Amino acid sequence: MDNLDNTCASLRRRIAETEAQLARLRGELQDAERAATTAKAKSTRWPMEDEEYTRYGRQMIVPQVGLPGQLKLRSAKVLIVGAGGLGCPAALYLAGAGVGTLGLVDGDEVDVSNLHRQVLHRTANVGKRKVDSAIEYLRELNPHPTYIAHPAHLTPQDAPSIFAAYDLILDCTDNPATRYLISDTAVLLNKPLVSASALRTEGQLMVLNNPPQPPGDPAGGPCYRCVFPRPPPAASILSCADGGIVGPVVGTMGVLQALEAIKVLTTPANPPALHIFSAYSSPLFRTIKLRSRRPNCAVCSAQPTVTLDTLQSGSTDYVFFCGSVSPEALLQPNERISPQDYQQSSSSSDPAIIIDVREKVQFDICSLNNSINIPISTILSSSSSSSSSTTNSDPTKKNENLPPWLPSEITTSETSPIYVICRQGNDSQIAVKKLKALGLDREGRRIVDVMGGLRAYRRVVDPGWPEY
């Protein structure tokens, strides 16, 4: 088995190296073609083709761009890491603006759940590689740029060879480990970086390592580690799948990334700043000035601990640095129940209490019959003093000082089993521990969570259950 794993890993590395080599060859071909076009243009007096003047004319008459700026865009090579909610609008506008070479890095395939916000993908392309789906659309929009697909998830071993062929990097990813990897690689290869993020109704945008200077040069712009020296706790990280996202919010941040990329490629660097967008606030935007490079930064200081060698050797472990995002098993096996066993138990004559700890907005989308909604945020916000006073209270007063979020069904019945369910089987474990800490299992009452949550319930019990 180990030999097969090693063979697969070796083949993946060889494929990635071959794809990187193909990307370089495509870039060289484009340079040669551009040189040929330039030579031809010199003989025809104008530096661009007739169709390009018409296509980009509205952009070129803007004073901040002009013909010199358009020619800079035409010769620029931009890499977009992530062909999702941020990468799609960013790529769309950069291709439309006439950026000469656009590279796309993404190892995922198009899913139906992507389509409300990832505007380069279509229903007909569900199941297709995202980079291929995106480039198909971009070529229809503008055939002039060279489009290069990197159909794989970015790794520390491959990042330097991929980044080396580009002038500017856009971080359009959604997890901290990849963000640190992208920023570190950009600094080590002297590439400016436009970084953005979005979740629910809010977004953030920064231009990092601009101007790009070698590690140790204080004139260089700050990097991601300068702004966030330590990653957020792994348990606090929400993805769009868990926290949700409003499509135009992530679209706004992706369009702003394209705008900042055009500014980086055509104008002098602006002072570093963090732009914060909030769709339901007034004003919509706030800007915070960023400090210069941190003198003790792990990657851009005079004595960095992160180098190209540590990157490619694997000694810089980004997953370890950011912490595992895998759900923890907080309960013992006897405190959990499978979806099948839950279905059999809930359909028996023994009355049970079903608590759904998803937030109300999710509970309103779909819910199990007779289930009670107690959002996990409500449970976690209850004071610890309530639980301690309850567990240590006189047995004759055991229902006093219980938190107000407990429904009457729980306090009036001391024998009915309690099943706790959530979306994926993580929050339900926390809720079970909380209920037991309140002493609700004193009389031998069974309190368990449904393993895997409603996603597992849909998979093994009810395929008709809505998937959102």
Catalytic residues: 240, 422
Q: Virtual CA dihedral for 360, 362, 363, 369, nearest 10 degrees?
A: 180
Per-residue b/e over 211-247, b at no fewer than 16 CB within 10 Å? Answer: ebbebeeeebbbbbbbbeeebeeeeebeebeeeebbe
Give me the count of residues in the chain: 468
Q: Is 226 annotated as a binding residue?
A: yes
Neighbours of 426 (CB within 10 A): 19
Which helix (H) or strand (E) segment holds residue 448: the answer is strand 447-450
Compute the distance between CA of residue 204 and CA of residue 266 in angstroms, rounded to an integer.
23
Q: Is 113 annotated as a binding residue?
A: yes
Q: Is 175 annotated as a binding residue?
A: yes
Q: Is 366 annotated as a binding residue?
A: no
Question: Amino acid identity, residue 77?
Answer: K
Query: In what side-by-side order are the strands of the sheet with 353-356?
Result: 336-337, 447-450, 418-421, 353-356, 372-373
Q: Which residues pair with 205 in a beta bridge?
A: 196, 275
Place of tokens 């009457």: 408
Q: Is 8 annotated as a binding residue?
A: no
Q: Is 117 annotated as a binding residue?
A: yes
Q: Is 98 annotated as a binding residue?
A: no
Q: Is 172 annotated as a binding residue?
A: no
Contact 447, 441 (CB under 8 A): yes
Residues 6+ apart with CB under 8 A from 319: 177
Q: Is 174 annotated as a binding residue?
A: yes
Q: Is 85 annotated as a binding residue?
A: yes
Q: Is 394 annotated as a binding residue?
A: no
Q: Is 106 annotated as a binding residue?
A: yes
Q: Is 300 annotated as a binding residue?
A: yes
Helices of type H across 83-128: 87-97
What are the φ and ψ backbone dihedral angles of 316, each rounded to 5 degrees? -90, 100
For 439: left if phi > 0, alpha if psi spans -120 to 50, otherwise beta; the answer is: left
Per-residue b/e over 49-76, b at no fewer than 16 CB within 10 Å? Answer: eeebeebbeebbeeeebeeebbbbbbbb
Q: Which residues are annotated as a binding site for Zn(2+)?
A: 223, 226, 297, 300
Q: Which residues are annotated as a binding site?
A: 85, 106, 113-117, 130, 174-175, 223, 226, 297, 300
Q: Which residues are annotated as a binding site for ATP?
A: 85, 106, 113-117, 130, 174-175
